[in-house]
Protein backbone atom coordinates (compact mmCIF):
# COMPACT_ATOMS: atom_id res chain seq x y z
CA UNK A 1 0.00 0.00 0.00
CA UNK A 2 1.45 3.41 -0.94
CA UNK A 3 1.98 6.17 1.62
CA UNK A 4 -0.95 8.23 0.34
CA UNK A 5 -3.43 5.41 0.85
CA UNK A 6 -1.86 4.52 4.21
CA UNK A 7 -2.45 8.08 5.38
CA UNK A 8 -6.05 8.06 4.16
CA UNK A 9 -6.90 4.77 5.85
CA UNK A 10 -5.25 5.89 9.07
CA UNK A 11 -8.33 8.10 9.50
CA UNK A 12 -10.68 5.14 9.14
CA UNK A 13 -12.19 3.85 12.38
CA UNK A 14 -13.08 0.18 12.24
CA UNK A 15 -14.75 -1.60 15.16
CA UNK A 16 -15.79 -5.23 15.59
CA UNK A 17 -18.58 -6.60 17.72
CA UNK A 18 -18.32 -9.86 19.64
CA UNK A 19 -20.19 -12.03 17.10
CA UNK A 20 -17.15 -12.72 14.88
CA UNK A 21 -13.92 -11.08 16.13
CA UNK A 22 -11.75 -13.26 13.84
CA UNK A 23 -13.43 -11.83 10.74
CA UNK A 24 -13.01 -8.31 12.12
CA UNK A 25 -9.29 -8.89 12.67
CA UNK A 26 -8.89 -10.35 9.16
CA UNK A 27 -10.63 -7.36 7.57
CA UNK A 28 -8.55 -4.88 9.56
CA UNK A 29 -5.34 -6.70 8.61
CA UNK A 30 -6.27 -6.62 4.92
CA UNK A 31 -6.94 -2.87 5.06
CA UNK A 32 -3.75 -2.29 7.03
CA UNK A 33 -5.18 -0.74 10.18
CA UNK A 34 -5.93 -1.81 13.75
CA UNK A 35 -9.41 -2.40 15.09
CA UNK A 36 -10.80 0.42 17.21
CA UNK A 37 -10.75 0.17 20.99
CA UNK A 38 -14.17 -0.74 22.33
CA UNK A 39 -15.27 -2.40 25.56
CA UNK A 40 -18.05 -4.97 25.22
CA UNK A 41 -19.49 -6.79 28.20
CA UNK A 42 -22.68 -8.30 29.59
CA UNK A 43 -24.18 -7.57 33.01
CA UNK A 44 -25.21 -10.53 35.16
CA UNK A 45 -28.85 -9.78 34.32
CA UNK A 46 -28.09 -10.21 30.60
CA UNK A 47 -27.99 -6.53 29.56
CA UNK A 48 -25.35 -5.60 26.98
CA UNK A 49 -22.82 -2.82 27.56
CA UNK A 50 -20.61 -1.10 24.99
CA UNK A 51 -18.19 1.80 25.38
CA UNK A 52 -15.79 3.23 22.80
CA UNK A 53 -12.44 3.91 24.44
CA UNK A 54 -11.19 6.51 21.96
CA UNK A 55 -12.43 9.75 20.44
CA UNK A 56 -14.62 9.34 17.35
CA UNK A 57 -16.00 12.88 17.22
CA UNK A 58 -16.55 13.95 13.62
CA UNK A 59 -15.13 10.66 12.30
CA UNK A 60 -16.50 8.06 9.88
CA UNK A 61 -16.84 4.69 11.59
CA UNK A 62 -17.42 1.13 10.37
CA UNK A 63 -18.89 -1.53 12.65
CA UNK A 64 -18.47 -5.22 11.78
CA UNK A 65 -21.15 -7.40 13.37
CA UNK A 66 -22.62 -10.50 11.80
CA UNK A 67 -25.76 -12.34 12.89
CA UNK A 68 -24.28 -15.49 14.36
CA UNK A 69 -25.57 -18.29 16.57
CA UNK A 70 -26.92 -15.79 19.13
CA UNK A 71 -28.69 -13.63 16.59
CA UNK A 72 -30.84 -11.56 18.98
CA UNK A 73 -27.90 -10.78 21.28
CA UNK A 74 -25.73 -9.94 18.26
CA UNK A 75 -28.28 -7.49 16.89
CA UNK A 76 -28.90 -5.87 20.26
CA UNK A 77 -25.16 -5.43 20.77
CA UNK A 78 -24.97 -3.80 17.33
CA UNK A 79 -27.76 -1.35 18.16
CA UNK A 80 -26.08 -0.41 21.45
CA UNK A 81 -22.70 0.07 19.77
CA UNK A 82 -24.32 2.31 17.15
CA UNK A 83 -26.16 4.33 19.78
CA UNK A 84 -22.97 4.89 21.75
CA UNK A 85 -21.14 6.04 18.64
CA UNK A 86 -23.94 8.37 17.59
CA UNK A 87 -23.91 9.96 21.05
CA UNK A 88 -20.13 10.26 20.78
CA UNK A 89 -20.68 12.48 17.72
CA UNK A 90 -19.52 10.11 14.97
CA UNK A 91 -19.99 11.84 11.62
CA UNK A 92 -21.12 8.70 9.78
CA UNK A 93 -21.98 5.18 10.96
CA UNK A 94 -21.50 2.37 8.45
CA UNK A 95 -22.60 -1.11 9.47
CA UNK A 96 -21.06 -4.27 7.99
CA UNK A 97 -23.46 -7.21 8.53
CA UNK A 98 -22.09 -10.17 6.55
CA UNK A 99 -25.07 -12.34 7.52
CA UNK A 100 -28.21 -10.20 7.73
CA UNK A 101 -30.38 -11.65 10.48
CA UNK A 102 -34.09 -12.35 9.89
CA UNK A 103 -33.56 -12.12 6.11
CA UNK A 104 -35.86 -15.09 5.50
CA UNK A 105 -38.79 -13.16 6.96
CA UNK A 106 -38.89 -10.72 4.06
CA UNK A 107 -42.61 -10.97 3.19
CA UNK A 108 -45.98 -12.15 4.47
CA UNK A 109 -46.57 -15.73 3.38
CA UNK A 110 -49.62 -16.16 5.62
CA UNK A 111 -52.09 -13.80 7.32
CA UNK A 112 -50.93 -11.99 10.48
CA UNK A 113 -47.23 -12.73 9.92
CA UNK A 114 -44.58 -10.07 10.60
CA UNK A 115 -42.08 -8.86 8.02
CA UNK A 116 -39.15 -9.11 10.40
CA UNK A 117 -36.45 -8.25 7.85
CA UNK A 118 -38.15 -4.86 7.40
CA UNK A 119 -38.29 -4.48 11.19
CA UNK A 120 -34.52 -4.99 11.45
CA UNK A 121 -34.00 -2.42 8.69
CA UNK A 122 -36.28 0.04 10.52
CA UNK A 123 -34.39 -0.50 13.79
CA UNK A 124 -31.03 0.10 12.10
CA UNK A 125 -32.44 3.25 10.50
CA UNK A 126 -33.89 4.47 13.81
CA UNK A 127 -30.54 4.03 15.57
CA UNK A 128 -28.84 6.04 12.82
CA UNK A 129 -27.22 3.83 10.18
CA UNK A 130 -25.79 5.70 7.18
CA UNK A 131 -24.76 2.72 5.05
CA UNK A 132 -25.11 -1.07 5.19
CA UNK A 133 -22.64 -3.54 3.70
CA UNK A 134 -23.91 -7.10 3.60
CA UNK A 135 -23.39 -10.41 1.76
CA UNK A 136 -25.84 -12.56 -0.23
CA UNK A 137 -29.19 -11.44 1.14
CA UNK A 138 -31.87 -14.13 1.15
CA UNK A 139 -34.00 -11.76 -0.94
CA UNK A 140 -32.66 -8.84 -2.99
CA UNK A 141 -35.68 -6.67 -2.17
CA UNK A 142 -34.45 -6.28 1.43
CA UNK A 143 -32.21 -3.53 0.03
CA UNK A 144 -35.39 -1.55 -0.58
CA UNK A 145 -36.29 -1.67 3.11
CA UNK A 146 -33.59 0.97 3.69
CA UNK A 147 -33.61 4.62 2.68
CA UNK A 148 -29.82 4.67 3.09
CA UNK A 149 -27.36 3.01 0.66
CA UNK A 150 -26.90 -0.78 0.78
CA UNK A 151 -23.82 -2.43 -0.73
CA UNK A 152 -24.87 -6.01 -1.48
CA UNK A 153 -21.78 -8.19 -1.90
CA UNK A 154 -21.84 -11.78 -3.11
CA UNK A 155 -19.74 -14.89 -2.57
CA UNK A 156 -20.27 -15.83 -6.23
CA UNK A 157 -16.67 -14.97 -7.30
CA UNK A 158 -15.25 -17.12 -4.49
CA UNK A 159 -17.33 -20.16 -5.42
CA UNK A 160 -16.76 -19.65 -9.16
CA UNK A 161 -12.99 -19.45 -8.75
CA UNK A 162 -12.93 -22.49 -6.46
CA UNK A 163 -14.91 -24.74 -8.80
CA UNK A 164 -13.27 -23.49 -12.00
CA UNK A 165 -9.98 -24.77 -10.61
CA UNK A 166 -11.51 -28.19 -9.94
CA UNK A 167 -12.43 -28.64 -13.62
CA UNK A 168 -15.25 -31.04 -12.81
CA UNK A 169 -16.73 -32.96 -15.73
CA UNK A 170 -20.47 -33.23 -16.52
CA UNK A 171 -21.25 -30.62 -13.87
CA UNK A 172 -24.74 -29.33 -13.18
CA UNK A 173 -25.34 -26.45 -10.77
CA UNK A 174 -28.57 -27.04 -8.85
CA UNK A 175 -30.58 -24.33 -7.10
CA UNK A 176 -32.62 -25.65 -4.15
CA UNK A 177 -35.56 -23.40 -5.06
CA UNK A 178 -36.71 -20.87 -7.64
CA UNK A 179 -35.35 -17.96 -5.59
CA UNK A 180 -31.77 -19.13 -6.05
CA UNK A 181 -31.96 -19.83 -9.79
CA UNK A 182 -30.39 -16.55 -10.89
CA UNK A 183 -27.36 -17.09 -8.65
CA UNK A 184 -26.99 -20.70 -9.85
CA UNK A 185 -27.29 -19.63 -13.48
CA UNK A 186 -24.55 -17.00 -13.11
CA UNK A 187 -22.32 -19.48 -11.32
CA UNK A 188 -22.79 -22.12 -14.02
CA UNK A 189 -22.01 -19.54 -16.70
CA UNK A 190 -18.77 -18.44 -15.02
CA UNK A 191 -17.57 -21.99 -14.33
CA UNK A 192 -18.12 -22.84 -18.01
CA UNK A 193 -16.85 -26.17 -19.33
CA UNK A 194 -20.40 -27.04 -20.49
CA UNK A 195 -21.80 -26.66 -16.95
CA UNK A 196 -25.61 -26.88 -16.99
CA UNK A 197 -28.38 -25.66 -14.69
CA UNK A 198 -31.22 -27.32 -12.77
CA UNK A 199 -33.45 -26.34 -9.88
CA UNK A 200 -35.79 -27.93 -7.39
CA UNK A 201 -39.42 -27.09 -6.90
CA UNK A 202 -40.31 -27.53 -3.26
CA UNK A 203 -42.96 -26.67 -0.69
CA UNK A 204 -42.63 -25.81 3.00
CA UNK A 205 -45.46 -27.26 5.12
CA UNK A 206 -43.89 -25.64 8.22
CA UNK A 207 -40.71 -23.85 9.36
CA UNK A 208 -37.41 -25.73 8.80
CA UNK A 209 -39.25 -28.45 6.86
CA UNK A 210 -39.14 -28.74 3.06
CA UNK A 211 -40.61 -31.20 0.61
CA UNK A 212 -39.08 -31.48 -2.87
CA UNK A 213 -41.93 -31.75 -5.37
CA UNK A 214 -39.97 -31.89 -8.62
CA UNK A 215 -36.59 -31.27 -10.24
CA UNK A 216 -36.47 -29.06 -13.33
CA UNK A 217 -33.49 -29.83 -15.54
CA UNK A 218 -31.32 -32.85 -16.31
CA UNK A 219 -29.27 -34.31 -13.46
CA UNK A 220 -28.94 -37.93 -14.57
CA UNK A 221 -25.28 -39.04 -14.77
CA UNK A 222 -24.18 -35.54 -13.73
CA UNK A 223 -21.77 -34.27 -11.09
CA UNK A 224 -23.88 -32.04 -8.84
CA UNK A 225 -23.10 -28.69 -7.24
CA UNK A 226 -25.90 -27.59 -4.91
CA UNK A 227 -25.84 -23.85 -4.11
CA UNK A 228 -27.79 -21.89 -1.53
CA UNK A 229 -27.49 -18.60 0.33
CA UNK A 230 -27.68 -20.33 3.72
CA UNK A 231 -28.02 -23.71 5.34
CA UNK A 232 -29.85 -23.77 8.66
CA UNK A 233 -30.92 -27.21 9.91
CA UNK A 234 -29.84 -28.80 6.60
CA UNK A 235 -33.24 -30.47 6.25
CA UNK A 236 -33.96 -28.95 2.84
CA UNK A 237 -30.49 -29.70 1.50
CA UNK A 238 -30.38 -33.32 2.62
CA UNK A 239 -33.92 -33.92 1.35
CA UNK A 240 -32.88 -32.41 -1.97
CA UNK A 241 -29.77 -34.57 -2.05
CA UNK A 242 -31.85 -37.73 -1.63
CA UNK A 243 -34.14 -36.58 -4.45
CA UNK A 244 -31.21 -35.89 -6.77
CA UNK A 245 -29.89 -39.41 -6.20
CA UNK A 246 -33.32 -40.80 -7.08
CA UNK A 247 -33.06 -38.94 -10.39
CA UNK A 248 -29.78 -40.69 -11.19
CA UNK A 249 -27.04 -38.13 -10.53
CA UNK A 250 -23.47 -39.28 -9.92
CA UNK A 251 -22.20 -39.93 -6.39
CA UNK A 252 -19.93 -36.88 -6.77
CA UNK A 253 -21.97 -34.15 -5.08
CA UNK A 254 -20.83 -30.77 -3.70
CA UNK A 255 -22.58 -28.17 -1.60
CA UNK A 256 -21.72 -24.46 -1.59
CA UNK A 257 -23.46 -22.06 0.78
CA UNK A 258 -22.58 -18.52 1.78
CA UNK A 259 -23.95 -18.52 5.33
CA UNK A 260 -23.30 -21.64 7.46
CA UNK A 261 -26.04 -21.10 10.04
CA UNK A 262 -25.83 -24.81 10.95
CA UNK A 263 -28.38 -24.98 13.78
CA UNK A 264 -29.93 -28.00 15.49
CA UNK A 265 -29.12 -31.28 13.69
CA UNK A 266 -27.35 -29.58 10.74
CA UNK A 267 -23.81 -30.73 11.52
CA UNK A 268 -24.84 -34.36 12.01
CA UNK A 269 -26.97 -34.32 8.86
CA UNK A 270 -24.26 -32.79 6.69
CA UNK A 271 -21.53 -35.06 8.03
CA UNK A 272 -23.60 -38.14 7.15
CA UNK A 273 -25.16 -36.86 3.91
CA UNK A 274 -22.37 -38.04 1.63
CA UNK A 275 -21.21 -34.73 0.11
CA UNK A 276 -17.73 -34.82 -1.38
CA UNK A 277 -17.22 -31.32 0.03
CA UNK A 278 -19.26 -28.67 1.80
CA UNK A 279 -17.90 -25.24 0.89
CA UNK A 280 -18.92 -22.26 3.03
CA UNK A 281 -17.71 -18.73 3.72
CA UNK A 282 -16.74 -17.19 7.05
CA UNK A 283 -19.70 -14.80 7.32
CA UNK A 284 -20.65 -16.86 10.39
CA UNK A 285 -18.00 -18.47 12.64
CA UNK A 286 -18.03 -22.26 12.91
CA UNK A 287 -16.67 -23.60 16.23
CA UNK A 288 -13.94 -26.24 15.96
CA UNK A 289 -16.18 -28.81 17.61
CA UNK A 290 -18.77 -28.30 14.85
CA UNK A 291 -16.41 -28.83 11.93
CA UNK A 292 -16.48 -32.10 10.02
CA UNK A 293 -14.66 -33.96 7.27
CA UNK A 294 -15.12 -32.34 3.86
CA UNK A 295 -15.95 -28.89 5.25
CA UNK A 296 -13.98 -26.08 3.60
CA UNK A 297 -14.23 -22.39 4.47
CA UNK A 298 -13.49 -19.58 1.99
CA UNK A 299 -12.86 -16.16 3.49
CA UNK A 300 -14.99 -13.14 2.62
CA UNK A 301 -12.56 -10.87 4.49
CA UNK A 302 -10.64 -9.62 1.42
CA UNK A 303 -13.84 -8.74 -0.47
CA UNK A 304 -15.48 -7.05 2.52
CA UNK A 305 -12.27 -5.16 3.28
CA UNK A 306 -12.01 -4.02 -0.32
CA UNK A 307 -15.63 -2.84 -0.24
CA UNK A 308 -14.93 -0.83 2.93
CA UNK A 309 -11.82 0.71 1.37
CA UNK A 310 -13.65 1.68 -1.82
CA UNK A 311 -16.57 3.11 0.11
CA UNK A 312 -14.19 5.17 2.25
CA UNK A 313 -12.47 6.50 -0.89
CA UNK A 314 -15.76 6.90 -2.82
CA UNK A 315 -14.61 4.40 -5.46
CA UNK A 316 -16.78 1.88 -7.34
CA UNK A 317 -17.76 -1.24 -5.39
CA UNK A 318 -19.76 -3.04 -8.09
CA UNK A 319 -16.59 -3.88 -10.01
CA UNK A 320 -15.64 -6.29 -7.20
CA UNK A 321 -17.86 -8.94 -8.79
Q: Give the active site residues.
A: 202
Is residue 102 a contact partner of residue 137, using CB atoms and an 8 Å limit?
Answer: no
Burial 166-198 (b: 16+ CB within 10 A, else e): eebeebbbbbbbeebbebbebbbebbeeebebb
* Partners of 214 in the β-ladder: 201
Alpha helices in 171-296 (DSSP H): 181-191, 235-246, 266-273
Residues 6+ apart with CB under 8 A from 207: none
C-alpha distance from residue 257 to each of 80, 222, 225, 236, 277 (Å): 30, 20, 10, 13, 11
Is residue 296 a contact partner of residue 280, using CB atoms and an 8 Å limit?
Answer: yes
Residue 133 phi, psi (nearest 5): -115, 125
Total number of residues shown for the chain:
321
Is residue 305 a contact partner of residue 31, using CB atoms and an 8 Å limit?
Answer: yes
**What is the pairing mode between strands 209-216 and 196-206?**
antiparallel
Alpha helices in the chain (DSSP H): 3-9, 21-31, 71-87, 116-127, 156-166, 181-191, 235-246, 266-273, 301-312
* Partners of 231 in the β-ladder: 260
Amino acid sequence: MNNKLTKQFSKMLLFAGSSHPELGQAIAKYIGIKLGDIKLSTFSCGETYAKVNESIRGQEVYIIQTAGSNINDDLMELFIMMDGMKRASAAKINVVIPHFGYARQDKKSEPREPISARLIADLLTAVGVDRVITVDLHADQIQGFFNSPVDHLTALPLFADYFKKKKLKDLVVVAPDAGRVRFAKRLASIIGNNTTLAFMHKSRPRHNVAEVVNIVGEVKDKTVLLVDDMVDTAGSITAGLANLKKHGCKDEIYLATTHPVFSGPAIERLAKAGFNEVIVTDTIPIPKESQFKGLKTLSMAPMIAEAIKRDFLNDSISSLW
